[in-house]
Amino acid sequence: MDKKKIIFRQIWRSRFTYLFILPGIIYFLLFYYSPMYGLLMAFKNYNARLGILNSEWVGLTYFQRLFITPLAVKSIFNTLKISVCRLILEFPVPIIIAILLNEMRGKRLNRIYQTAFTLPHFLSWVIVSTILKNFFANSGAVNYLLQSAGIEKINFLSSPNVFFGMIFLTANWKEAGWSAIIYLAAISGINPELYEAAIVDGASRFRRIWHITLPSIKSVITILFILAIGNAMNGGFDQIFNMRNPVVTDISNIIDTYVYDITFLAVPNYGFSTAVGMFKSIINSILLLCANFIALKVIGQGLFGVRRVK
């Protein structure tokens, strides 16, 4: 039988499955793949009257400009700095929260804590930034309490060093509980008999966590860590855009905020903006592939499967 007929027959047998995933396919085609046509602007002197195809080719001019523009170079450095700190200060927190919630004995108290940790995720950064400004401004509630206690005011949102720490503190408060759900789901799939056997052998709670819980969720941690590295150049636009102010621009200006500024707050150069965004996506892809390769070599697990043993 012809291979094409076999393929079409298999598709027809699974037609309801394909029909179920069709909306997802259409979504990605419309909002992820069709806009890639606009990447041509990164190599052209875009003119709205001529359109993308008829605009003049400029080659790699915008990419060269990216590395000689001081603000662009600074935004790249800030993005890398913030992303590395996020991996160190934010990535382990959901794992710790999931383990602590799993080790709690009272189910009712566990649910209360899980709800409390998860709830901030549903607040937008617009709301969170407004709350932060009300609480941590120079005339806010926190500084009022510090002043009442005889302590000098702290410029939480206008001191560059303090603001840099606030980025990770507020991100953990908002998202760590939500991210912990994935690890809780992985922990719930661990065979309880492993813990029972460890208790019989006299293993302490810490030993059970170290030798049973963490190795059992290693694959989940690996996949999420690889994805986090592949997302490193994003930097967290929503958070920083809503929290930043002119005083801390020097340390908070990342690639995404830089693109926003040169596109909407200045005379727009869509070709250069596209080139900056394309550069960010390329670096993210390279980091993703490198992280996956290293994970396969070091621990034998990666994003696309397990390393084959010869």
pLDDT tens across 113-132, in order? 888 999 999 999 999 999 98
Q: What is the 3-state secondary structure (H, E, C) of 95-117?
A: HHHHHHHHHCCCHHHHHHHHHHH
Q: Looking at the structure, do residues 124 and 197 belong to the same domain, yes or no?
A: yes
Tokens of 43: 């190599």
Mean pLDDT of the chain: 87
Residues in the chain: 310
- Sign, CA dihedral 61-63-64-69, equals positive
122 SS3 class: helix
What H or E segment, with its residue span, contains residue 61?
A: helix 61-66
Question: 257-283: per-residue pLDDT in tens?
Answer: 999 998 888 888 888 988 998 999 899
What H or E segment, with its residue span, contains residue 56?
A: strand 56-57
> How sure is the predictor about 303, in pLDDT bands with cuts at 50, 70 and 90?
low
Q: Looking at the structure, do residues 133 and 247 belong to the same domain, yes or no?
A: yes
Judged against a pLDDT cut of 60, whether residue 309 lies above it is answered with: no
Contact (CB, 8 A) for 123 and 211: no
284: β partners:
none
Q: Looking at the structure, do residues 256 and 159 belong to the same domain, yes or no?
A: yes
Question: 23-70: per-residue pLDDT in tens?
Answer: 999 998 988 888 888 888 899 888 888 888 888 899 889 999 989 999
Q: Looking at the structure, do residues 23 and 137 belong to the same domain, yes or no?
A: no
Q: What is the pTM assigned to this prediction?
A: 0.83
Percent of the chain with pLDDT over 70: 96
Q: Looking at the structure, do residues 225 and 283 belong to the same domain, yes or no?
A: yes
Answer with the one of 59, 82, 98 that is the final residue of a domain. Answer: 59
238 SS3 class: helix
Question: How far is Cα 242 from Cα 126, in angstroms, rounded to an integer?
Answer: 6
pLDDT score at 88: 93
Using CB atoms within 10 Å of the CB of residue 237, give its burial: 0 to 12 exposed, 13 to 18 middle, 19+ buried: middle
Phi-psi map region of 44: left, alpha, beta (phi>0 left; psi -120 to 50 alpha) = beta
Question: 229-248: per-residue pLDDT in tens?
Answer: 988 888 889 999 999 888 88
Closest CA to 271 of 7, 62, 50, 110: 62
Q: Looking at the structure, do residues 108 and 249 belong to the same domain, yes or no?
A: yes
Q: Looking at the structure, do residues 39 and 83 belong to the same domain, yes or no?
A: no
Residue whose pair of structure tokens reads 């819980």 in the numeric block:
213
Q: Looking at the structure, do residues 40 and 88 belong to the same domain, yes or no?
A: no
Closest CA to 283 of 256, 250, 243: 256
Answer with the one of 43, 59, 75 that is the final residue of a domain. Answer: 59
Q: At residue 231, what is the residue type? A: N
**Longest pairwise C-alpha distance within the chain:** 87
Closest CA to 163 of 248, 69, 258: 248
pLDDT score at 156: 86
Say how far residue 155 (Cα) sits from the centre of its chain. 27
Judged against a pLDDT cut of 70, whether residue 89 lies above it is answered with: yes
Q: Considering its fold, how many domains does the chain have in total?
A: 2
Domain extent at residue 178: 60-306
Task: Read off the pLDDT of each residue in 177-203 and give the average, rounded to a whole number.
Answer: 91
Answer with the one of 18, 42, 59 that is the final residue of a domain. Answer: 59
The CATH number of whichever domain residue 97 belongs to comes to 1.10.3720.10
Question: How far is Cα 261 from Cα 259, in angstroms, rounded to an integer?
Answer: 5
